[in-house]
């Protein structure tokens, strides 16, 4: 199997070639390299790299200076560290990798990916608030995958004005990733009763829940539950429920033609107005607009 450098999809050699690529990007933010399968968009604080990787391609152990997301558009890849596979990423998945993380990747099938690289200054604006972004993570959140999809759509526009909105989307993606990582932190660091509460919330978010009910299931006082849940997961019980409901609403709105009033009931909202207000605060647009923007 081939083992090129992880950056060999943009075939440059030496400082001079790298400078030429950099100057091209300064004058024209969307530039195709001599490899027709790779396209790059560079903006203030980030780079978006679209790559198509051949079957049986392998990248040997390496690390990157910048944090990045890998959004799989087609195909699949596996990521390993210390010789052990730690992630399998199929189409539609989103993987976060912190700066300096040593890993290898292999592509068992032809794979189409979007890599979202974030410069240190932008990364630090969120990372300084939490340690969650210092470790790699699979991001199962429908909302996060939607944000990655939004970046891809802006990338395809080939419009310099898109650079402005992409930075905002990436910051939101980083913040939501930090919340996801905090909310699924190492089980060994979380008391058993709190894991029970977390799992109960995750399994019952579609119906009305009270703090007293969840505390009763966990066997603790509701005040203790509220305090420890926020301390351990960096999110309140109410915020967690709203996040899960909006994620499920994203799924139903994008994958079904169900009326929004029915979506609201299925997701645990009191009515369509409640769904719309909460959805707009978290996603940045209404459920109806979100549905209109879905591909195909």
Helix (H, G, I), strand (E, B) or coil at 97: strand
- Structural domain spans, the chain: 14-183, 187-292
Measured distance CA(183)–CA(49) in Å, rounded: 29
Does 14-183 match 187-292 in CATH topology?
A: no
Looking at the domain 187-292, which fold is it? Arc Repressor Mutant, subunit A (1.10.10)
Specify the pLDDT at position 37. 55
**Beta strands 94-97 and 137-138, pairing class:** antiparallel
Beta-carbon count within 10 A of 296 CB = 2
Three-state secondary structure of 112-123: EEEEEEECHHHH
Specify the pLDDT at position 295. 58
**Taking every pair of C-alpha atoms in the chain, what is the biggest distance, in angstroms?**
66
Residues facing 72 on adjacent strands: 113
What homologous superfamily does CATH list for 14-183?
Jelly Rolls (2.60.120.10)
Non-local (6+) Cβ contacts of 100 within 8 A are 63, 64, 65
Non-local (6+) Cβ contacts of 186 within 8 A are none
Specify the pLDDT at position 10. 31
Residues facing 113 on adjacent strands: 51, 72
Measured distance CA(240)–CA(198) in Å, rounded: 9
Helix (H, G, I), strand (E, B) or coil at 172: helix
pTM to 2 decimal places? 0.61
Tell me the pLDDT of the chain (296 aa) as tens digits. 444 444 433 332 232 232 223 323 333 333 333 333 578 888 888 889 999 898 888 888 889 999 999 999 889 999 998 878 888 898 888 999 999 999 999 998 889 999 999 998 888 888 777 777 888 988 877 778 878 888 887 888 767 777 777 888 888 888 878 776 655 444 446 789 998 998 899 899 999 999 999 999 999 999 999 999 988 877 899 988 998 899 889 889 988 999 999 999 999 999 999 999 999 888 878 999 888 876 55
Contact yes or no for 190/232 (Cβ under 8 A) = yes
């Amino acid at each position: 199997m081939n083992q090129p450098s992880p950056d060999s999809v943009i075939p440059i050699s030496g400082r001079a070639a790298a400078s030429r690529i950099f100057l091209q990007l300064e004058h024209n933010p969307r530039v195709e390299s001599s490899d027709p399968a790779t396209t790059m968009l560079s903006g203030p604080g980030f780079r978006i790299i679209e790559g198509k990787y051949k079957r049986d391609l392998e990248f040997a152990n390496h690390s990157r200076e910048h944090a990045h997301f890998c959004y799989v558009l087609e195909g699949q890849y596996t990521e390993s560290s210390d010789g052990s596979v730690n992630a399998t990423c199929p189409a539609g998945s989103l993987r976060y990798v912190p700066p300096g993380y040593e890993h290898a990747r292999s592509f068992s099938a032809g794979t189409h990916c979007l890599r979202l690289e974030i410069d240190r200054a932008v990364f630090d604006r969120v990372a300084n608030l939490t340690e969650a972004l210092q470790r790699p993570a699979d991001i199962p959140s429908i909302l996060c995958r939607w944000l990655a999809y939004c970046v891809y759509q802006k990338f395809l526009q080939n419009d310099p004005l898109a650079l402005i909105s992409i930075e905002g989307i990436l910051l939101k993606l980083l913040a939501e990733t930090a919340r996801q990582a905090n909310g699924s932190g190492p089980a060994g660091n979380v008391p058993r009763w709190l894991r029970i509460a977390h799992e109960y919330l995750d399994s019952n978010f579609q119906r009305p829940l009270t703090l007293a009910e969840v505390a009763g299931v966990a066997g603790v006082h509701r005040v203790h539950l509220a305090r420890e849940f926020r301390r351990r997961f960096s999110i309140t019980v109410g915020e967690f429920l709203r996040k899960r409901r909006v994620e499920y609403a994203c799924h139903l709105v994008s994958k079904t033609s169900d009326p929004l009033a029915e979506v609201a009931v299925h997701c645990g909202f009191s009515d369509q107005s409640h769904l719309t207000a909460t959805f707009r605060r978290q996603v940045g647009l209404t459920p109806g607009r979100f549905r209109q923007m879905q591909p195909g």
